[in-house]
Amino acid sequence: MQRMHFVRALQYPTLCVAASLVAASACAQGYPLKPIRLIVPLAPGGPSDLLARTMAQQLTPALGQPIVVDNRTGAGGTIGVDAAAKAPPDGYTLLLIASSTYTITANLYPKLPYDARRDLTPVSILAAGPYMMTVHPSLPAKTFKDLLALSKAHPRDLNYGSGGTGTGPQMSMELLKLKTGLSITHIPYKGTGPMLIDHMAGHIQVSLLNLIAALPQVETKRLRALIVTGVKRSNKLPEVPTFEESGIAGFDDISGHMILVPAGTPKDIIARLNRELVKALRAPEVVARLENEGAEIIGNTPEEAAAIVRADLDKWADVIKRSGIKPD
């Protein structure tokens, strides 16, 4: 009798695990059975929010349940990311965030309430757009090589602006400094808008901006474009060369947005979400909108997205360590 109880005791945890796996599989097969929350860790109206609402509109009929956009702002996006990281891993909470924001924040702030490598799993990187380096027209630099020579001749005279410490453009500029020896001082602003106003006024000489944000100013000649990131020239400004073409290898930073889910979400749910996201990205109205903004549609697999996120986490950890950047 005692041996029978002992055997049952050994079998009980195994049965529980098997039951939980069967339950998870059953839930995944019927997924989704209720509305899905899509967290955006930024205020309404920005590029992340607009992309989230576009994807929600496409996914709602495809999944047969409403996709509700939840703007969870505060603490530089940390509150929204933490809410997603701590949500049940059942496919009913998604997170949309700029990949640069996610991977830079993870390295810049040492005491985050979540672990970016462990607590969330990528579903797909949706789309990405290049950065464009611009200068004020008063600066005697027509190419990046001109700017580099100018910085070496006057190492304390040049400055560049960004929307704040730890933003994607600032980190990319710091990476560029490490790669090329560019000598230039960072001037952080509280947002891209105020910086752009000062840039057009000539108070800021150089910037690295999302191409769409800078394009109107370049077209009206209030700013001059020198170079773009990415592996190919932008169809919006085909005359502007890439860093690769200018002899700077490995500088293909782009500003992308991705969807993540809490770690432990069943793989078949992740696969379903990935399939529907990729289909949504191919919808003619979505393609037209993203291409009009100069974005490149990606829609990669969960495995491909995870590999990119891991590589970026390592890259920004190295840049932050070598450049000595500290959060404000």
Q: What is the DSSP string of 187-252?
A: EE-SSHHHHHHHHHHTSS-EEEEEHHHHHHHHHTTSSEEEEE-SSS--SSSTTSPBTTTTT-TT--
130-228 architecture in CATH? Answer: 3-Layer(aba) Sandwich (3.40)
| pTM metric for this prediction | 0.84
Residue-wise burial string across 293-325, b where 16 or more C-beta atoms lie within 10 A, e elsewhere = bbbbebbbbbeebbebbeebbebbeebbeeeeb
pLDDT of residue 182: 94
Residue among 16, 33, 45 nearest 191 (CA): 45
Residues in a beta bridge with 209? 132
Residue partners of 100: CB distance under 8 A and separation at least 6? 167, 168, 171, 253, 255, 256, 312
Give the domain 34-128+254-323 fold. Answer: D-Maltodextrin-Binding Protein; domain 2 (3.40.190)
Integer distance in angstroms from the first to the last C-alpha of the chain? 67
**Residue 240 near residue 143 (C-beta atoms within 8 A):** no
Tokens of 240: 């502007």
Hey, is 162 helix, strand or coil? strand
**Residue 142 near residue 149 (C-beta atoms within 8 A):** no
Residue among 315, 316, 313 nearest 122 (CA): 313
pLDDT of residue 252: 72
Tokens of 244: 């690769």
pLDDT of residue 2: 42
Low-confidence ranges of the chain (pLDDT < 50): 1-26
Say if strands 93-98 and 185-188 run parallel, antiparallel, or are unpaired: unpaired
Q: Where are the domains of the chain?
A: 34-128+254-323, 130-228
Tokens of 198: 């000062």
The reply to whether 130-228 shares the fold of 34-128+254-323 is yes
Backbone dihedral angles phi then psi of residue 196, each to the nearest 5 degrees: -65, -40
Q: In angstroms, rounded to a whole number, what is the distance separating the alpha carbons of residues 8 and 144?
A: 72
**DSSP 8-class letter at 42:** S
pLDDT tens string 211-243:
888 889 999 999 999 999 888 888 888 999 999
Q: In angstroms, rounded to a whole number, what is the distance separating the alpha carbons of residues 144 and 43?
A: 35
pLDDT tens string 197-206:
999 999 999 9
pLDDT of residue 155: 85
CB atoms within 10 A of CB 194: 12
Distances (CA, A) of 277 to 93, 182, 271: 15, 40, 10
